[in-house]
Amino acid sequence: MDYKRYENGGTDVVIPIPRSYADCWQLVRSDYLRYKRTMAPWPKIACYALISRLFAFSLCLRMASYRGWAYPLFKIMHRHLSKKQGLHIDPECHVGYGLYIGHGCGVIVNPTAVLGNNINLSQFTTIGSNEGHAATIGDNVYIGPCVCIVENVHIGSNVTIGAGAVVTKDVPDNATAAGVPAKVISYKKPGRYVSNRFTWQ
């Protein structure tokens, strides 16, 4: 596994870049931990993908992020699940360990966005850009329902973004932000809704 470091305000975000299907599977296992609170052997993880469409989407997203011999198959599966679930996260998007999608509906993430490790995405979330570079988001971040994160803002680590917020400015580490436009309303209990965190360092 290779790693790429992104500057994110005062704290850098380190994102895994898979260089093999073994690396992709490590990312799948990190996502499984977020859903099921435990690690498991590959047959159990594969069976869970058959009964959970959200996790199946995550699995295809991860496996399509490496352009190996099975890339066309995983790309087709990813596209099918994307349309069926209303989840638009491109395999080119840099996503850290432990992605958790709370509800499979209306999640749109621009391919230029950077999502750190242990991110929670809720329904009707948009992380977008009209100017060629979307947000960089730190580790252990909870993004509530109906949130819009606009353009190249920096979201710190251990951040909670409340439902319906429109984020147009940077949010510092350990903050809770809410409102339209979003403002910091608290520094209490940072990252409190991000459970079952995957530890990779």
Q: What is the CATH number of the domain that holds 11?
A: 2.160.10.10
Residue range 40-62: mean pLDDT, rounded: 93
In a domain, 197, yes or no: no
Residue 196, token pair as written in the block = 């079952």
In a domain, 100, yes or no: yes
Residue 17: is its pLDDT beyond 70? yes
Tens-digit pLDDT profile for residues 97-117 = 999 998 878 899 999 999 999
Question: Which DSSP string corresponds to 110-171?
Answer: -TT-EE-SSEEE-TT-EEE-SSS---EE-SSEEE-TT-EEESS-EE-SS-EE-TT-EE-S-B
In a domain, 191, yes or no: no
Mean pLDDT over the full length of the chain: 93
Report the alpha-carbon distance of residue 152 to residue 128 in Å, rounded: 9
Tens-digit pLDDT profile for residues 122-175 = 999 999 998 889 999 999 999 999 999 999 999 999 999 999 999 999 999 999
Tens-digit pLDDT profile for residues 20-44 = 999 999 999 999 999 999 998 999 9
Domain that holds residue 127: 2-186
Catalytic residues: 133
**pLDDT of amino acid 201:** 65
In a domain, 171, yes or no: yes
In a domain, 73, yes or no: yes
